[in-house]
Each structure stands twice: as structure tokens, then as C-alpha cells.
Amino acid sequence: MHGTSHGDRQILRHIARVAMIERGLQPDFPAAAMRQAAALSEPPRGALVAAVRDLRDLRELPWVSIDNDESRDLDQLTAAEALAGGEVRVRVAIADVDALVAPDSPIDAHARHNTTSVYTAARIFPMLPERLSTDLTSLGERQERLALVAEMTLDPDGHVTGSDLYRAQVCNRAKLAYPSVAAWLEGTAGPPAALEDPALQHQLHLQDTAAQALRALRHEHGALTLETLQTHAVFDGETLRDLAPDRKNRAQKLIEDLMIAANGAVARFLDRHGVPSLRRVLHTPRRWERIAALAAALGERLPASPDALALNSFLIRRRRADPRGFADLSLGVVKSLGSGEYVATTAGESSQHFGLAVSNYTHSSAPNRRFLDLISQRLVKAVLESRPNPYPPQRLGELAAHCTTQEDNAAKVERRVNKSAAALLLSGRIGDSFDAFVTGAASKGTWVRIERPAIEGRLVRGPEGLEVGERLRVQLLRVDVERGYIDFGSVR
């Protein structure tokens, strides 16, 4: 036990609420938004269908969703089919959130303010009321829904040879979860119960093949191989029991690769139709010399100027040479790369994402969770319906800056609560000793991580001149749950 008078989950929920407010995020929905959500009901299917021009009926396709076990806010479905010559047609159906969330309505105003769902250790703060995100605008199993479909044709080498966007009726044939799908794809378990249909199994294998080809091609162009250490809170009732490591599995990579392709298809569609839009960019790193110094400390040499292919080759070698330390090397590289951001672009204007090695890339595939994706959806639907652009260029620029700021604030809230969860988990172990290694060493301090549970803290008592990667024995000296502080001292 942690010696607290309240449940761990309750403590972390309080910390999360305070952190949300401090970062300018709204932890609760305004009363007007809740009234709007309560009054919503699913519109009659016939009326919706009649109101949409050129709506396709794709309900019989073998659509599936793959997400976390507990997820109910399902933003996308995927389906694939084999074509002649080894090509594959991949379709990504994106929930039509705009059909129920009118611009400038109370729900839209709250979503526009926060811009994203915030996922903390003890509580999720959804961008949209759950009546929408987990029901009316979720692509739930066996539910007939309207969707925006990104259709792509891929050759065997992962090149997108053609793409199109249109609106369609869809129906989720199987709600799948990452762990069980990954185990099946990797051959360590049989198919999940929802995948008993051989047709579903076949097309899911096609999706996996297409995703691997897309990923391989991106890496040929310099997409970075990075694996930062992430954890998730494990509760027993209201008591925090562990911070378990998250390892990206094959099913997660499958969805990530298909969503990157779909997001690129949306950006190209808008550009093709001469529509200003929002892009996700990661600029060529300004702190390249820091990345080169990381490589030099490991006996490697990178070019003097930023070179994604050279950097990725270095990362692949290091992952093979030191798999244990690769997450920390990845974190050092990520910090030096800088943060991604949103920018408004005019039609024909090019933008780059250094980390993904793609150009002209947007976010569009998660409109239940990200406001920018909802903006992208509205821009596409305006083109399909021959309506004027709903967002003038100046407004797009303002929204890009706001979404970047709020996404950064949300990430800081999530990190803040994770640190408090770590302090809470260790609060009953003051005086215990652990094996640890150095994760950061600079003038402002030295940081170490213990391996089980995987928790980082500051080394406030110990030898000078420690280097990143050095191993040592440390003792837990103190924790501050409210501020998320963890202090260690070295054990001689």
C-alpha cells in the first residue's frame, strides 16, 4: 500500500484535473455542450443517405477495427483486397464526426478549445462527449455508419499508384484488439474469436502485407526507426499496482502504417483540388550537432548536415548492438529532433515530415480524438459537395497554431500525471535499493532509470561525471507525489 487515505486513482484524477487547468485545458464539458449531446440522436438512416451526393454502399466489405482492448471511440475501419499484378487496394473508413458535430456548436467549441483527447494514467478527458465518441460517431461493431473513405492502390513495393476520397456507408464486421491480432499475425496464437471468418483472415493478412511494404519504402527514404519507452498504469480496483511497459506490436504498426498512407491521401486530395489545408510537419532538425554528438559518443560518425538516411542507418545498427539501451538513445534523438507542429499551407505548397520521410502530410484519421482531423474532414466534404472552403486561409493559420499549442499542453499533462503515478507507486519503498542506469547527464542534473518498474528519477546524491548508459546501484531517498518528483542516491 502507499500509505494514502484516498484511493490511488482518485489522487491521480485530482492531479490530472489540476494539471489540465494549469495548462489551459478544460477538464469538463460546458453545460451547453452536455445539453447538446443529450439532445442528439442518430438521424434516420434514410434521411442521411438521401442528403449525401454520390454516397457509396460499402456495408458488405470485410471492414474491421483494430484498437486497444478497452477502446470504444473507434475512428477508423480498414479493408483490403488483392488486385491483378500483386497490387492491393486498401480502404480506410474514417468516422463522419462532422455529420453530428456542427461547426461553432457548443460541442464543437469545446473540441476547438482543447483540440485533443487527453489520456492520463487515471482518467481520459475526451475531446467529444462520450455519447458521441463512443456511440453515435464511433464505428462500433455491427453498427451501420456514414464514413469518409480514403481508397489507395498500392504496388508490391509499397508505392501508392492511385488514391481517391469519397463518402460511403460502412459496417464494422469485427472489433479487434492489438495484442490478440499481433499474436496471431506473428504466429504465436490462433486467430481471435472475432476472426473466425476465413475471408476476414485473408484480407487482414493483405493489410499486414501492404503495411509492411509501406513501412519498408518509407525507411528506404529515411523514415526513422525509434522506440521510446512508454508505460501504462495497472490498477487493482483503486490501487495502483504497476507501470507496465508498452511495446509497439505488429498490429499497432499495421494501423500506424495504413493511417500514415491515408493521411497522405487526404493531403494530396486537398492539394489536387486547390484547397488550402493543414499539414503536420517535423522540420529538418536545427540541433543536428547534438544528434551527431550522441553518435560520436558511441564511436559512430554522422554527416555534418542533417541526413535522415544516415541517421536511420545509425539507429538500426545501435538497436542491434544495444537493444537494452535503444529506448534511451531514441529519446535523446527525439529531444534533439524537436516537436512536430501544424502549419497552414496553400494549394501547391510543399511541406516535409523529417521523421516519417514523407511530404505533404496531414492528420485526418482520428476525428473523435483530434480537432485538426475534424477540420480536414470538413475541408474534404466541402470539395465533395462543391461547397466553399469552410475555413479561410487566415483562420487555418490561427487554428494550426492553436492546435500545436494545445497538443503540446496535453502531452505535458500526460507526462505530469505519469510522473505522479511513478512517485505514487514508489511511495512505500523509501530506502529500497535498485539497479539503475544513467539516462541523462548534464549541468542541470543527472537522471537515472530503474528497470522494474521502469521509472526515472533524479540522482541527487552520487558521484560526479557519470555518462549516459553507465550502470549503478541507487537508493530511493524521497518522492513528492503532488509534483511528480523522485530522488535517488547512489549506493557505494
Query: Residue 2: pLDDT above 70?
Result: no
Sign of CA dihedral 382, 388, 391, 392: positive
State how far the Cα of 108 lies from the Cα of 220, in Å rounded to an integer: 40
Burial of residue 75 (number of CB atoms within 10 Å: 0-12, 13-18, 19+): buried
Within 13 Å of residue 263, how many CA atoms lie on the same side as its CB? 26
| pLDDT > 70 in the chain, percent | 98
Res 3: pLDDT: 44
User: 316 is written with which cell numbers?
Assistant: 538500426
Query: Residue 4: pLDDT above 60?
Result: no
Query: Residue 263: pLDDT above 90?
Result: yes
> Which one-letter DSSP state was computed for residue 85?
G
Query: Residue 444: pLDDT above 90?
Result: no
Res 455: pLDDT: 92
Res 44: pLDDT: 59
Sign of CA dihedral 336, 127, 368, 279: negative
Q: What is the per-residue DSSP string for 388-455? A: PPSS-HHHHHHHHHHHHHHHHHHHHHHHHHHHHHHHHHHTT-TT-EEEEEEEEEETTEEEEEEETTEE
Which residues, 6+ apart, have CB-to-CB distance to 300 below 8 Å? 314, 317, 318
Structure-model confidence comparison of residues 194 and 4, the more confident one: 194
Q: Mean per-residue pLDDT for 360-374?
A: 95
Which residues, 6+ apart, have CB-to-CB distance to 224 below 8 Å? 308, 311, 312, 315, 333, 354, 355, 356, 357
Q: Mean per-residue pLDDT for 236-251?
A: 91
Query: Residue 436: pLDDT above 80?
Result: yes
Domains of the chain: 8-223+230-282+339-423 (no CATH), 288-337 (no CATH), 429-490 (2.40.50.140)
Q: Mean per-residue pLDDT for 191-207?
A: 93
Distances from the Cα of 25 to the Cα of 32, 66, 175, angstroms: 17, 29, 31
pTM of the model: 0.90
CB burial readout 399-426, b (16+ within 10 A) else e: bbebbbebbebbeebbebbbbbbbbbbb
Res 237: pLDDT: 92
Q: Mean per-residue pLDDT for 40-61?
A: 80
Res 109: pLDDT: 98
Res 467: pLDDT: 77
Which residues, 6+ apart, have CB-to-CB distance to 15 below 8 Å? 416, 417, 420, 481, 482
Q: Mean per-residue pLDDT for 383-405?
A: 95
